[in-house]
Amino acid sequence: SRALVAIVGRPNVGKSTLFNKIAGRKLAIVEDSPGVTRDRNYTRAEWLNHHFTLIDTGGIEPDSEELIPSLIKKQAQIAIEMAHVILFVVDAKAGLTSTDREVAQLLRRSKKPVVLVLNKVDNDKVSEHYYDFYELGFGDPMEISASIGLGIGDLLDEVVANF
């Protein structure tokens, strides 16, 4: 069956921006109803003849800071159970946070392949926080800019290599 790829991470790291960027690419290749992708949290996508379903687990992010850790953990849990590959998104501008560490702990216990995605790398300067993210235990962070669209092809290569 079709592989499931889940985007996981705390609020504001750029999960939805990445989702839309990948969904947008796919819309350029495959026919779909225009205007529906923006509000959906799942989409069919294709890369190098690999077909998969992409899920943005963020959904509607909570306003309350206190709700965030439990909600994110629940989302990560769902991703661990359902997904074939997990895109764990962190924020190069904000740096590593305690919520990132909590999500990482859950993801490490799963046997699923996790791709660590360092978002908001909008230029070719190495983020001052880059090396902090090795602590999460997922190896080299893959640097992308979801809003500008940098590094997305390399990221998708890595995703389909895990199918």
Pairing of strands 50-56, 42-47: antiparallel
- By CB under 6 A, the count of residues binding ligand GDP is 16
Name which of residues 37 to 66 contact ligand GDP (CB under 6 A): 58, 61
Amino acid identity for residue 151 in this structure: G
CB 51 to ligand GDP: min, Å: 24
From the list ligand GDP, Mg ion, none, which binds 13 (C-beta under 5 to 8 Å, kind-based)? ligand GDP
Q: Which stretch binds ligand GDP (CB under 6 A): 32-40, 66-74, 76-84, 141-149?
A: 141-149
Residue 15 contacts ligand GDP per CB under 6 A: yes
Which residues ranging from 84 to 123 are in contact with ligand GDP (CB under 6 A)?
A: 119-120, 122
Q: Which does 120 bind (CB under 5 to 8 A by kind): ligand GDP, Mg ion, none?
A: ligand GDP
Residues that bind ligand GDP (CB under 6 A): 9, 11-17, 58, 61, 119-120, 122, 145-147
